[in-house]
Chain A
Amino acid sequence: MKVSTGIKNLDVIMDGGFIDKSFNLVYGGGGTGKTLFTFNFLLNGAEQGNNVLYITLEESWDDITRKLPDGMRKRLDAIRDKFHYLDFGSLRPVLGREIMEVNVLTEAIASSIVVNNVSLVGFDGIAPLSIYYEDEHKLRSVIFNLSQSIKSYGATTVFTSEEIDGRSRYGTEEFVADSVIRLTYNGTKRRLQILKTRGTGFVGGKHGLEISSSGLRVYPKLLFPEGKAKPMPESMGILKLDNMLGETFSGDITLITGPPGTGKYLFGLSFLKNACKHGKNGLYISFEENIEKIKRRLDDLGDSRKLCKVIYIDPKNEDIYKILWQLRALTKDTNRLVLHGMNMLSTSEEYEDFIHAFLGYMRARGISTMLTYSTTQIIATNTLGDEQIVNRADNIIKLLFAEIGGELKKILVIIKSHSPTHERGLVEYRLGKRGVVIVGKIEGMEGVMSGTPTKQMEIKKRVESFFK
């Protein structure tokens, strides 16, 4: 039987939560959210109808509750009769260090568990035990005895410890615990890592953690599969482009890569417009701020905004795993998705995990996804931008500028497609009021990709004159 950790997504990646009547360690440095994790666990338990007990050896109950975020304090007020506490820190000035003697602690805790019919315990901070037990070996056995004693009363416990040099303070807590969770915070992002769960599986790696006013949220580094959609033939929404690609299917991942000014966003809008035309829902998410331009162009393309939405997500100030889960929620009823400005996200060190989780999930759900990536070189670029997407995309369309006949022309080339017979040539396109217009193939030119286009005949003549 499992007991909820108090955080829905954490339960999922811990195979249901904590084992019933288990002793679970949460450790981390200062400010990582250990106390709030413990509180959240107990609040959730009390909200489910359990009697819960919070134990503090150091910081006073008054201080802790005063510092609680507003939302959590309101939650506490609502279930106050089920939330019990033992503030040993408040007894220290009156009773001295004797209060930290293990038998005194265990008896008091046991009394509260029995009298109040407690099933969940939060033991916040064990560091003050070292005031009484200076010998490390003795301290280890005390922690062990404490854990065994609380377990014997049938309560499921979360206890917290400080992190020192990447491990819990005394090093023994991990061995005593049935599960171990590590919290980290580098000043900008919070991470939660499950290091151990006795007897059950868990999803490894560092997951996103958010502390909001009302409690804690976990954003796992992956998205869980939700069915498998059958791929159906689809149109990209740009005249002639479908023929050039050969074939495209629902659930395809298409990368549009090119320098600024090549109209990547218009490829995205045409892609969405086509979906809306067939009564399907489209979503355009931009990681670049200026979404008003995109909304205007969507109107120009004749779309009623009822089916196509345009949303801006700030990639710099949002956790990448939160974005991952936001995308999951936003695409609930979506058939087609455009993510514009992937280069704004790619600086995150967890980008690879994000791409892996996100693209796999969209493909499985049959959501056709177009990603745009802005490269920096204007002419003669040989990069496709992002290898994480490149390796996973079904279709890759590279956009570039080429100086031909004294004019800067827009060229597209299909690098990759499902169809082995896709267009291999360079194709000129224009951007107009009605979106992307395919002009036609660039004939008789060479060196366009390298930025030095030359007529094929000229080269032929030069070669012939050389051999003459």
Chain B
Amino acid sequence: MVNSEDKMVRVPRDMYDAIGELIKKYPQYGWKGPSEFVRDAIRRYVEELKRREILLERAKKVMPDRVKVILSKFMGPEEAKEAYEKIMRIEEKDPEKYIAEVVKILEDYVGAKLADLIARRIVEERGV
């Protein structure tokens, strides 16, 4: 049913064809056509982003303490305390950017890869 408030969104032909194939492949999801598939996909994606926002927000709250505990065991309480204090001084409100700043601080202590791994794992822990 077309609503007058509805807006049109363009998708490339290839993607449109791919949607058609997915509808055929997974009839159990009950998509009646490409429009319903796209609406469902957008709904899910928005939910995912909201969930991530919540996760990041939760992670942001525990980040300084978790980092302190992990670094304390990994390289000693002195370094952990130092990193903790630096993280506590971050003023960024946006969780995504905040975590990026935490990673940047950690890089100096443990290198980029491990810093990223630690931050990622703290975020994932909040989703459990």
Residues of A within 8 A of B (CB): 60-61, 84-88, 90-91, 94-95, 98-99, 101, 103-104, 106-108, 110-112, 115
Contact = CB atoms under 8 A, between A and B. Distances in A.
B70 interface: yes
A111 B74 contact: no
A107 B113 CA distance: 7
B20 to A, nearest CB: 39
Nearest to B69: A94
Contacts of A115: 108-109
Q: Which of B70, B108, B113, B114 has the most CB of A within 10 A?
A: B114
Contacts of A85: 75-76
Q: Chain B, interface size: which category? A: 10 to 19
Nearest to A81: B78
Main SS class of interface, B: helix
Contacts of B118: 94-95
B117 interface: yes
A222 B76 CA distance: 43
B33 interface: no
A90 B73 contact: yes
Contacts of B121: 94-95
Interface string B99-128: 000000001111111100110010000000
A111 B117 contact: no
A86 B114 CA distance: 12
Contact of B111 (A90, A95, A98, A107): A107
B37 to A, nearest CB: 35
B64 to A, nearest CB: 16
B10 to A, nearest CB: 40
A409 B117 CA distance: 89
Contacts of B75: 84-87, 112
Contacts of A106: 111
Nearest to A88: B74
15 contacts: A85-B75, A86-B75, A87-B75, A90-B74, A91-B70, A94-B121, A98-B117, A99-B117, A101-B113, A103-B113, A104-B113, A104-B117, A111-B108, A111-B110, A112-B109
B81 to A, nearest CB: 14
A87 B69 CA distance: 13
A104 B73 CA distance: 17
A94 B108 contact: no
B28 to A, nearest CB: 34
A110 B108 contact: no
A442 to B, nearest CB: 80
A107 B111 CA distance: 5
Nearest to B106: A111
B59 to A, nearest CB: 14
A97 to B, nearest CB: 11
A108 B76 contact: no
A111 B76 contact: no
Given A86-B75, A112-B75, A104 B109 contact: no
Nearest to A96: B121
Given A94-B121, A95-B117, A99-B117, A111 B111 contact: yes
A75 B70 CA distance: 26
